[in-house]
Amino acid sequence: MQIDSGFTFVLFGGTGDLSMRKILPALYEAHRAGMLSEHGKIVAVARHAADRDGYIEWVNSNVKTYVSKGGLDESVWQRFLERIAYVKLDLGKPEDFALLRDALDGHAGTRVFYLATGPSLFVPICRALASVGLNENARIVLEKPLGYDLRSSNAINDAVGEIFAEEQIYRIDHYLGKEPVQNLLALRFGNALFEPLWRREWVESIQITIAEELGVEARGDFYDNTGALRDMVQNHLLQLLSIVAMEPPHSMDSDSVRDEKLRVLRALKPIDTRDISKIAVRGQYHSGVIKGTSVPAYATEHGVKPQSATETFVALKVEIENWRWAGVPFFLRTGKRLAERVAEIVVNFRPVPHSALGAPALRPGANRLVIRLQPNESIRLYCLAKQPGEGMNLSSVHLDLAFDQFFKEGQMEAYQRLLLDVINGRLALFVRRDEQEAAWRWVEPILNEWAASNKPPKPYAAGTWGPAAASAMLAQHGTCWLEEEN
């Protein structure tokens, strides 16, 4: 769908890694697909390039490798570059923002300010924008992490909220823009087949995993002051949990969807600090081998303190205290330097109460739905079927919901969808302030307990699936992680 009105997309941190790998490639793909108004402009803001020519040279060198998996169309690329203007700006000098105001003068349509910077710059940038009158008829996009804890998150939200109204603020979580997450909503709320089963009577447990093969790379300084709980659980994993567990909204407008997600977050069973050791596992990777390559321990990574107690792995058992989900355990897991890069949601349905067909039908997980978010997006339904031949021997089979084969058009990348939603003014896939506060409030007891504890994170070898304690936690509930079954 093409955007009718013009827009100006202002990208702060225009030479940063996120801009090169995600934001500019997403805008290019939208341009290539004809989804951007021909009157739309992109204004990159940075201080590294001296002028527009220098910035375009930077973009040519750093962005091309991340666009168009099917091959780059050079003529389309050149027309995309024509959209880009550049403003050299020192973010530490509020007076420089007059240069940006002058550069935007005469640009019609909505203004989008994307803050692809560190969170410490969010408030100064917003205040500087307001000082030159650029907060009117504008939308502001805030990248994670938004704060270090509930207090710091509220401080940022309070300050930004003094300048921009809530409906102008887009707190981005790119997992909410992924195609399988959208299809999860379609499966649940568009089909009579799944929704009646989506409750405690039929669901035995749910797993949500975001695993990475990579370590901290060049982010050692940042990560060592953040950790996996803040970096992944408080936002990505709890957002996915709320999508999985939410009640049907009365419509798909932004507040209806976000109201239902908020109800889930507020229904999370509060953390009792006496139980943290039973429902939370934290780990830290040591040296190991991933795909034949030796990798170092976390504590020896650049920028990491040698005696660091920062967790690179978290596994949690979560419960939702409402009528739909009471008693159903949700297992969340994330980590770096794990055996595989994968993000998936696994819904394990209860086995049949009695089987005349033998033990496999009574096995936990005989019926399950696996929603794969990355690397290969897919949805797969597992069930039991009779093996060919004599006797009633059952075997697990699966039905693939192969959207890429059924729909001829390619899947839209998460950032592309979300950036188009910002420009179009659609808030449903962005995090509202009260959602964010509820998530921080729930994780804070764990953060505080770990900070006060003298116990180090449990070690695990790089290239494995994390500490054994994460498997033991599920074993106590008569289940296991999906890869352990295989």
**Cβ contact 235:253 at 8 Å:** no
Give Cα separations from 156 to 114, 231, 283, 444, 457 (angstroms).
16, 17, 30, 17, 30
64 in a labelled binding site: no
Burial zone of 396 (CB within 10 Å; 0-12 exposed, 13-18 middle, 19+ buried)? middle
**Cβ contact 110:138 at 8 Å:** yes
**CA–CA dist 286, 463 (Å, integer):** 10
Say whether 236 is catalytic. yes
90 in a labelled binding site: yes
144 in a labelled binding site: yes
434 in a labelled binding site: no
272 in a labelled binding site: no
**Cβ contact 456:289 at 8 Å:** no
Residues with Cβ within 8 Å of residue 266, at least 6 apart in sequence: 438
357 in a labelled binding site: no
Tell which residue, 315, 302, 16, has the closest CA to residue 143: 16
Handedness of CA 80, 81, 82, 85 (dihedral sign): positive
Q: What is the DSSP string of 104-155?
A: HTT--SEEEEEE-S-GGGHHHHHHHHHHTTTTTTEEEEEPSP--SSHHHHHH
Element (H, E) at 316: strand 313-318
275 in a labelled binding site: no
Which of the residues 236, 250, 286, 477 is marked catalytic? 236
Annotated binding site for NADP(+): 47, 90-91, 144
Binding residues: 47, 90-91, 144, 174, 178, 212, 231, 336
Catalytic residue positions, numbered:
236
Residue numbering of the annotated binding site for substrate: 174, 178, 212, 231, 336
